[in-house]
Amino acid sequence: MPVLRCVLLVTMMLLGGLPAGRAQTVGGFDYAPEYDFSEFWAATDGRFFRVIVAGNPFPQMPAEEAKQRMLPVMQANKPRPALTFTYQQPPEEMRPDYRLVLVFDPANDLTAARVCAGQIFLKKPAEPRPAGRVYVFGIYCRNDLALSQTTAWTQAASPEDPRLGQMFAQLFLALFDDRRWRRSPFNPWFAR
């Protein structure tokens, strides 16, 4: 009986800790047949990678301030290539144009294809939003093609909230998935 009490106590402690450990959630993800992690790596390793932000995840502060304060958080939780996130538009048109688009509070009918084509719609301001909830639709685009997409959400009070950094880390793992690359039979590290 003492062993049963100990197991029950440990189980209750673990269950009580789950909500804190699940501070961020990543929704389903989708990859276009053209998605290739090695292409992403070649396009971004040691280079600037443009991010387009639509919407304001923190309505209590100006949108531009929220964007600037989020940039170091994204950089600290970046995907594996040695890339540098930037909001700057390149001086000349890039072809192919690789970019990450983050849409905060997207409209319910917004698609990744529309986002990569430059059509971004946000929820109407009249629609209520839970306080402190950050919801983002992330899309990795090449020209007008959506190569990968996912959603993520968390509770965060400010851009420096650790939960926002954890959300970005998980979002980037889903958007820039290298598992398909590692499974390639032509890759010398093929393990599966």
Asked whether residue 6 is assigned to any structural domain, the reply reads no
Total of domains in the chain: 1
Task: Please answer whether residues 170 and 130 qualify as being in contact, where contact means their C-beta atoms are separated by less than 8 angstroms.
Answer: no
| Domain span holding position 163 | 25-182
Asked whether residue 188 is assigned to any structural domain, the reply reads no
What's the pLDDT band for 23 if we cut at 50, 70, 90?
low
Asked whether residue 128 is assigned to any structural domain, the reply reads yes
SS3 content of the chain, % helix, strand, coil (to 5): 35, 25, 40
Asked whether residue 142 is assigned to any structural domain, the reply reads yes
- List, for residues 54-72, the tens digit of each pLDDT value: 999 998 999 999 999 999 9
pLDDT of residue 61: 92
Using alpha carbons, list the distances in angstroms from residue 110 to 93, 100, 105, 136: 26, 16, 10, 12
Asked whether residue 103 is assigned to any structural domain, the reply reads yes
- List, for residues 120-165, the tens digit of each pLDDT value: 999 887 666 667 899 999 999 999 999 999 999 999 999 999 999 9
Task: Please answer whether residues 30 and 150 qualify as being in contact, where contact means their C-beta atoms are separated by less than 8 angstroms.
Answer: yes
Higher-pLDDT residue of 39 and 182 is 39
pLDDT of residue 128: 63
Asked whether residue 94 is assigned to any structural domain, the reply reads yes
Asked whether residue 72 is assigned to any structural domain, the reply reads yes
